[in-house]
Amino acid sequence: MAVERLLKDEATEEKGDRARMASFVGAMAIADLVKTTLGPKGMDKILQSTGRGHNVTVTNDGATILKSLHIDNPAAKVLIGYRLAAECARNALLQKAKDNKQDPDKFKSDLMKIAMTTLSSKILSQDKEQFAKLAVDAVLRLKGSTNLESIHIIKKAGGSLKDSFLDEGFILDKKIGIGQPKHIKNAKILVANTAMDTDKVKIYGARVRVDSMAKVAEIEGVEKEKMREKVQKIIAHGVNCFVNRQLIYNFPEELFADAGILAIEHADFEGIERLALVTGGEIASTFDNPESVKLGHCKLIEEIMIGEDKLIHFSGVEMGQACTIVLRGASSHVLDEAERSLHDALCVLSQTVNDSRVLLGGGWPEMAMAKEVDDLARKTPGKKSHAIEAFSRAVRAIPTIIADNAGLDNAELISQLRAEHHNDTTNAGLDIISGGVGDMERLGISESFKVKQAVLLSATEAAEMILRVDEIITCAPRKRENRIPSPSSVNLPCLLPIGIEAMASSRRHFLLCLSFLLTVSGDSSESDRVLDLPGQPPSPRISHFSGYLTVNRENGRALFYWFFEAQTLPSDRPLLLWLNGGPGCSSIGYGAAVELGPLRVKRHGTGLEFNKYAWNKEANLLFLESPVGVGFSYTNTSSDLTKLDDGFVAEDAYSFLVNWLRRFPQYQSHDFYIAGESYAGHYVPQLAELLYDRNKDTKNYPYINFKGFIVGNPETDEFYDSKGLLEYAWSHTVVSDQVYRLANRVCDFKLFNWTDECNDAMEMVFNQYKEIDIYNVYAPKCTLPQSSSSSSFDEDDAKKSLMRRIRRYAGYDPCFSTYAEEYFNRVDVQRSLHANVNGRWRVCKVNDAILYCYSDSILRTYNFTVFSVLPIYSKLIKAGLRIWIYSGDTDGRVPVIGSRYCVEALLLPLKSQWQPWFHNHQVGGRSVEYRGLTMVTVRGAGHLVPLNKPQEALVLINSYLRNQQLPTHK
């Protein structure tokens, strides 16, 4: 019987010597890269990111270098995390190690020597004695603990590295407010995370009917009294310092000042967690039971100056081992590398305190171990001796490399060291300063036994693993042509169709290959990297990824994404998720390719052009095609499309986000925001609420660093949106007085389902928009054949369900819809994006026939179950999330009038008046800031603000992400 081949044609297989050689080459490449950084004369590496920003890091820290690499070689992947590749004998280390733990003076001297040895090859080498003392003093304060959280490092630009110092206390990078006490002895500290944001009530925007101003004063007085009661509860704890993670506004701040209490606001969460730890307190959020709240204590709180900055100093804290190391330096690059160097020293020292055994350095332990291994090789008969001799040569490679890096004659020096080490009591090692062999004990060059042992064991395990490799199998690229396969046509990348005779024995091969596939390639972000996208301009370079993530395995439901890394400093920029509305319209076809992505579709879909106002100038941009059935997203269970509603969409989006962060773990700690427009005015707040609720249950859900959301021309509340649509059409002369009065008379927009009379009246309103663009009433109408997004329902469609409200897409210019559909239906584009589609890809799923299980419009089948998301706004505003709403003021579909009604209905206190904001010496729009929410208009923009006003939109997102007010001066 013929042997069936299990691997597909595009899969590769290497066996025997070729596989071993590939492993060796990978190991040697990593070793060659890192070895030049070793020793006091080791060189720095300039690391340049592959992203468009070309972020540059200058370092000789091995962990930083290896972490920054993209490795394809299988053996090289095994070596990530290891700095050395060598074999040694652990017994030699044990025999040579010394332990001075019982003599505090000698042990501290050992720690100083280890710290200075660690810092000798770092940026701090010129001041290594000073920083070694800082590190030793900080670690000894831990009293044997390896938890470095108690050592706080603050970086302040200015001065020189010599100005760095250690402070025996805790320094909080905040200022003391005006009128607050600057000096508090025997402080009792209440650390809290609570809302203190009702300093006074502003009546602007609220609807209050009173017969005198005295009644207004009564309302304001009641609100103030509530805040006064809360402040009194806090004061009742007997504290003289109140530290809050959230803002403290004027009125409570005044009450605290009158009570002689220092109130510190807006301390970051890491800051208050560490402050609670070192002062012995706990973070509180309720204050009804003072006996259940644990206060923090310290002997003195005072304001100090570091450079030009004011900070708050807590001394005599309850956790005596806490301290702060303040680093000074000329630039952020110097400070970052200094922090990395100091962190290395702190890690080594904390491990040495835990295991106090010490070795000499300068290549002394390697030469001592090589001597022991050589002795063993001479005693061992047969071929084993050759392997043992090879181990000895590998161990001696370390001092050889150190000598090479210093520009010394390594052959001469290593020969001298071998001769010296025939004396068992020798302390000989490399003296790089003098360029010869020296006494390591006299020179004070020492290393930690625990760290050296860990390096040796890791190197041994890595070498053994590489030597065991005799075959390397590389799976074929994942194929996605059959997006909705039938059960009989399941196509796994590792498998070929197997003959009838072999089917009985193929199951174990199938399971083995499937397991290998999921392990090797299932969670790799690199497999989703987009290369050679047709029509993409050659410059500037853009780093982007696209592909599928499964959100429901049982139903075979997967959502498609397109991700663009930030143009500069992607590792420092926030992550922004963008959603489009409809329901049923693609964020790839609109958000990414038409509005705010870095690659815009050219006219007639002929290619792409660079968008110089792309939002990935400010953030890492993630576009998601949601809900399932939109664009390239798909399901293998057609009944999913009949279950779509806001809750279903939010759950899928949350599952996608969790899985995406697992595929891109480097973004898990980034600040995360959500943005969108149109019906995403429903999607975004409901996903935000889900994130907020599940972040409070970290036992069952992963924590996502969610900070807030921003929505444009959002559908928010059915009553206010419909009322605003009608009033906008009348006020902008789209409809006659008679139609306006008729619709006002027969329509009760508070009803979820309209009457037949109301449907007829509103159909008359929509008919008036046929000759102009409802999404930008002052823009020329597109004269191209309309795409799917502009199709509308006839009267029967509108009345398909009894008393149903007319549903029309909340968005989108038909010309750009046509261009996007022409481009994304190209086979070469879909292949490059790792996407596939059955039938024709649509910007929006509409009522024209669509193949397979998508035979109906998502808009038709969508279950509209949420009348208003305003209650969610109220909840998330109280939670302290950053929330902005923006509106293009020429949009007739979700007009600014309706959005203003919605914001007014929230009854938020006013923080700043309605005022113009400026861009390029011109009015960009208007803005108004409430407590917890900012509303912005964009002058001259329609429904697609980033398309109509790209420069103003970039200013808008920049201000939002930086939490800054829009420019209010020309």
Alpha-carbon distance of 428 to 368, in angstroms, equals 10
Task: Give just the sign of the alpha carbon dihedral 159, 160, 161, 163.
Answer: negative
- The pLDDT of residue 62 is 56
Report residues of the chain scoring pLDDT below 70. 1-90, 121-122, 198-208, 269-270, 320, 382-387, 462-524, 783-815, 837-839, 845-857
652 backbone dihedrals φ, ψ, rounded to 5°:
-65, -40
CB 234 within 8 A of CB 227: no
Which residue, 545, 565, 562, is CA-closest to 624? 562
Report the amino acid identity of residue 610. F
- Residues contacting 843, CB < 8 A, separation 6+: 585, 586, 589, 590, 631, 787, 788, 789, 812, 817, 820, 821
CB 450 within 8 A of CB 358: no
Which residue, 372, 371, 459, is CA-closest to 417? 371
Which DSSP state fits 610? E
Alpha-carbon distance of 59 to 518, in angstroms, equals 35
Tokens found for residue 381: 């008969």
- The pLDDT of residue 80 is 35
Query: HSE-up of 778 (CA within 13 Å, CB side)?
Result: 9
CB 267 within 8 A of CB 172: yes
Crossing angle between the packed helical segments 680-695 and 646-663, to the nearest 10 degrees? 60
Which DSSP state fits 284? B
CB 455 within 8 A of CB 84: yes
Where are the alpha helices (H) located in 424-549, listed in sequence order? 440-443, 449-467, 507-521
- The pLDDT of residue 73 is 46
Alpha-carbon distance of 381 to 358, in angstroms, equals 34
Which residue, 863, 861, 823, is CA-closest to 842? 823
Alpha-carbon distance of 887 to 902, in angstroms, equals 12
**Chain centre to alpha carbon of residue 557:** 25
Peptide bond preceding 780: is omega within 30 degrees of 0, i.e. cis?
no
Strand, helix or coil for residue 904: helix
* Dihedral of the alpha carbons of 944, 946, 947, 951, in degrees to the nearest 10: 140
* Active-site pick, 678, 789, 857, 959: 678
CB 56 within 8 A of CB 64: no
CB 312 within 8 A of CB 318: no
**Chain centre to alpha carbon of residue 671:** 5
DSSP 780-809: PPP-SPP-GGG----HHHHTSSTTPPP---
Provide the β-strand partners of residue 922: 919
Question: What value does the CA radius of gyration of the chain take, rounded to a whole number of Å?
Answer: 33
DSSP 715-755: --BHHHHHHHHHHHHHHTTSS-HHHHHHHHHH--TTSSS--
891 is catalytic: yes
Which DSSP state fits 950? H
Peptide bond preceding 540: is omega within 30 degrees of 0, i.e. cis?
yes
* Active-site pick, 61, 891, 919, 927: 891
What's the 3-state SS for 97-147?
CEECCCCHHHHHHHHHHHHHHHHCCCCCHHHHHHHHHHHHHHHHCCCCCCC
Element at 562 (helix H, strand E): strand 557-564
Crossing angle between the packed helical segments 449-467 and 16-35, to the nearest 10 degrees? 150
Indicate the average pLDDT of the chain: 79
Provide the β-strand partners of residue 329: 157, 158
Alpha-carbon distance of 562 to 570, in angstroms, equals 16
* Active-site pick, 421, 682, 919, 943: 943
678 is catalytic: yes
Tokens found for residue 672: 């995360």
Which DSSP state fits 212? S
Provide the β-strand partners of residue 933: 930
790 is catalytic: no
- The pLDDT of residue 150 is 76
Strand, helix or coil for residue 48: strand
Exposure b/e, 625-647, CB count within 10 A at least 16 = b? bbbbbbbbbbbbeeebbeebebe
Which DSSP state fits 156? E
Tokens found for residue 857: 């419009």
Which residue, 582, 906, 523, is CA-closest to 720? 906
- The pLDDT of residue 77 is 41
- Residues contacting 328, CB < 8 A, separation 6+: 156, 157, 158, 159, 160, 161, 163, 164, 306, 307, 335
CB 245 within 8 A of CB 267: yes
Alpha-carbon distance of 18 to 690, in angstroms, equals 52
